[in-house]
C-alpha cells in the first residue's frame, strides 16, 4: 500500500471573527493515507475485455480526525454508482471494502453479469484544517451514472458536504462567474450537463460544471464571499496541509527544466514506462529516448537571454510558443499551425511551486473549443525537491555532481 504524507505548510485561523459554524477551530495535524489499489482484467463469455480498477484511500490511524474522514469516505462510496453492480461496502477498513468489491466482481463475472469496465477511485488531493477534498471517479456502470468530480469531507465530523452546504448560489450565477474568471484556455462556451459540483482548492471556490470531466473554474474568494455558508468560509480560509518539498526556497530552474516541473542540477529524468530526457549543465534538453531534440523533435529553438526556449519550430509547418513566470516555470504553451492556434495549455503551481493543474483548450474548425483540466496530487519528493511520484506516475531523476 502506498502512503501519502501531508505535513503542515502554514497555519492560519479557521474562522472569521464572530463566525459560528459546525466547522470548529482545531489544531491541524498531519494525516497519512493508505491507498488500496487493485486491477483485474478479464473477458466476458463473448470474449469482450472487461476490468475492475480500484484506487481507494483511507486515513492511517485511529484518532478522531481519522475516524471522521473514514466515516465520510464510507458515505462517499455508498453514494457511488459502483454499488448498483457490486453492492454497498462492508468492513472497517479500506482493504476489507476493496477485497469485497474484488470478490463480488469475480463472482458476477463468472455469472456473466459484468458487461463493461468498472473504475472506482477516491484519492485525497487536498487537505486543510477544515476539510479533506477527494478526487472521485465512478465509472463503468452506465453512461448516465458515470462521474468524475471532487468531494469535500468536513474534518470536524466526517460529513460529506453538498453544494448548498458550501455556497448558496444558483447554477446560472455560477456559470456567469465561471465565464468572468475563465483563463484563456477556457474561453468559449462552458458545457452545462445539468450536473455540477463545488469544492475547495488553492485559489478559491472550485466550480466543476459537468459530471464527466474535471473542467475546473477557480472563483476567487472576493467573488464568492457573499454566497459562502459559514462552513464554506471556514474551508476556504483554512491553510493547506501540503507534503513538504525540500529545497523549494532555493530552487534553480534553468533552460528547459521548467517544462518538466524540475529544478536543480538535473542531468536526466525518465518517466517509468515512458520517455527519458537528458539535459546539459545549462538545463537545456539534449535528447529524448536517445534521439537529439534538434533535428528529430524540433527544427529550431529560439531562446531568450536567460536561456529559456520561447519558440520551438516543429519539423513541418507548426511551432510551439512558450511563456514563463519570473522563476522560469512554464505557465503557458501554445501549439500553432499556419498562424492559427490549435491548442493552448495553461499551467498552475501551488504555494510550493509544484505543478498541480493544467488547463487545456483544443480548437477545432467548425465547432467550439474543447477544454479539459488535468490535476496532479499525491506527491513524493526527492532531496532536490523534485517529485518522484504523483498519483499514478513515477519518475527517476539523476543529477550533475
Q: How far apart are CA 210 and CA 36, in angstroms?
A: 27
Q: Tell me the pLDDT of the chain averaged across its residues.
A: 85
Q: Is the pLDDT of residue 236 over 90?
A: yes
pLDDT computed for residue 143 by the predictor: 61
Flag the least confident range among 12-16, 244-248, 299-303: 12-16
> What is the predicted pLDDT for the residue at 225?
95
In the predicted model, what is the mean pLDDT of residues 71-78?
91
Q: What are phi and psi of 116, to 5 degrees?
A: -155, 170
- What is the pLDDT at residue 227? 97
Please name every residue paired with 34 in a beta bridge, in sequence order, or none if there are none. Answer: 3, 58
Rounded mean pLDDT, 162-167:
96
d(CA 223, CA 171): 15
Residue 354 has pLDDT above 50, yes or no: yes
pLDDT band at 252 (very low <50, low <70, confident <90, very high): confident
Give the percent of the chain with pLDDT over 70: 87
Q: With CA atoms as reference, report the closest residue to 255 among 263, 245, 246, 247.
A: 263
Is the pLDDT confidence value at 25 over 60?
Answer: no
Residue found under cell 462556451: 189
State how far the Cα of 118 lies from the Cα of 39, in Å rounded to an integer: 10
pLDDT computed for residue 130 by the predictor: 94
Structural contact between residues 332 and 358, judged by C-beta atoms closer than 8 angstroms: no
Mean pLDDT of 349-367: 85
Q: What percentage of the chain's residues is helix, strand, coil (to nearest 5)?
A: 20, 40, 40
In order, the DSSP letters of 148-200 are: EEEEEEETTT--B--HHHHB---HHHHHHHHHHH--TTS-SPPP--S--EEEE
The answer to which of 95-104, 188-197, 376-385 has the lowest mean pLDDT is 188-197
96-129 tens-digit pLDDT: 889 999 999 999 888 888 888 889 999 999 899 9
pLDDT-derived band at 76 (thresholds 50, 70, 90) equals very high
Q: In the prediction, which pLDDT does 188 show?
A: 65
Q: How confident is the model at residue 154 (pLDDT cuts 50, 70, 90)?
A: very high
Residue 6 has pLDDT above 60, yes or no: no
Predicted pLDDT of residue 358: 93
Q: What is the CATH number of domain 2-242?
A: 3.30.565.40
**Residue limits of CATH 3.30.565.40 in the chain:** 2-242
- Of the listed ranges 79-88, 276-285, 286-295, the least confidently predicted one is 79-88
- Whole-number pLDDT of residue 17: 33
Cell numbers that stand for 182 in this block: 475563465
Specify the pLDDT at position 392: 77
| Cβ count near 326 (within 10 Å) | 6
> Would you state the pLDDT for residue 12?
29
Amino acid at each position: 500500500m502506498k502512503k501519502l504524507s501531508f505535513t503542515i505548510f502554514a497555519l492560519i485561523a479557521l474562522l472569521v471573527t464572530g463566525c459560528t459554524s459546525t466547522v470548529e477551530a482545531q489544531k491541524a495535524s498531519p494525516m497519512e493515507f493508505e491507498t488500496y489499489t487493485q486491477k483485474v482484467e478479464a473477458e466476458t463469455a463473448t470474449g469482450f475485455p472487461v476490468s475492475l480498477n480500484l484506487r481507494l484511500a483511507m486515513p492511517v490511524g485511529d484518532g478522531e480526525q481519522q475516524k471522521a474522514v473514514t466515516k465520510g469516505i464510507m458515505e462517499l462510496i455508498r453514494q457511488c454508482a459502483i454499488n448498483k453492480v457490486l453492492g454497498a461496502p462492508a468492513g472497517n477498513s479500506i482493504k476489507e471494502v476493496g477485497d469485497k468489491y474484488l470478490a463480488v466482481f469475480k463472482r458476477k463475472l463468472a455469472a456473466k453479469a459484468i458487461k463493461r469496465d468498472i473504475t472506482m477511485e477516491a484519492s485525497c488531493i487536498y487537505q486543510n484544517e477544515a476539510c479533506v477534498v477527494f478526487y472521485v471517479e465512478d465509472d463503468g456502470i452506465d453512461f448516465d451514472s458515470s462521474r468524475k468530480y471532487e468531494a469535500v469531507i468536513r474534518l470536524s465530523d466526517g460529513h460529506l458536504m453538498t453544494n448548498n452546504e458550501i455556497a448558496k448560489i444558483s447554477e446560472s450565477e455560477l456559470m456567469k462567474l465561471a465565464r468572468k474568471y475563465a483563463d484563456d484556455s477556457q474561453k468559449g462556451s462552458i458545457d452545462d450537463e445539468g450536473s455540477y459540483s463545488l469544492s475547495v482548492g488553492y485559489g478559491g471556490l472550485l466550480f466543476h460544471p459537468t459530471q464527466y470531466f474535471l473542467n475546473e473554474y477557480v472563483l476567487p474568494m472576493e467573488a464568492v464571499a457573499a454566497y459562502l455558508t459559514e462552513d464554506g468560509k471556514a474551508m476556504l480560509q483554512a491553510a493547506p496541509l501540503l507534503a513538504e518539498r525540500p529545497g523549494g526556497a532555493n530552487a534553480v530552474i534553468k533552460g528547459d527544466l521548467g517544462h518538466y516541473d524540475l529544478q536543480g542540477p538535473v542531468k536526466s529524468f525518465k518517466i517509468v514506462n515512458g520517455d527519458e530526457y537528458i539535459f546539459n549543465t545549462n538545463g537545456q534538453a539534449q535528447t529524448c529516448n536517445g534521439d537529439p531534440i534538434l533535428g528529430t523533435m524540433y527544427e529550431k529553438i529560439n531562446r531568450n537571454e536567460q536561456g529559456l526556449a520561447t519558440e520551438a519550430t516543429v519539423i513541418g509547418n507548426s511551432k510551439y510558443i512558450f511563456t514563463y513566470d519570473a522563476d522560469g516555470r512554464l505557465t503557458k504553451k501554445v501549439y500553432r499551425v499556419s498562424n492559427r492556434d490549435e491548442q493552448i495549455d495553461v499551467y498552475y503551481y501551488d504555494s510550493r511551486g509544484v505543478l498541480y493543474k493544467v488547463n487545456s483548450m483544443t480548437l477545432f474548425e467548425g465547432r467550439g473549443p474543447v477544454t479539459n483540466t488535468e490535476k496532479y496530487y499525491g506527491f513524493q519528493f526527492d532531496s532536490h525537491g523534485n517529485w518522484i511520484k504523483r498519483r499514478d506516475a513515477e519518475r527517476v531523476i539523476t543529477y550533475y555532481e
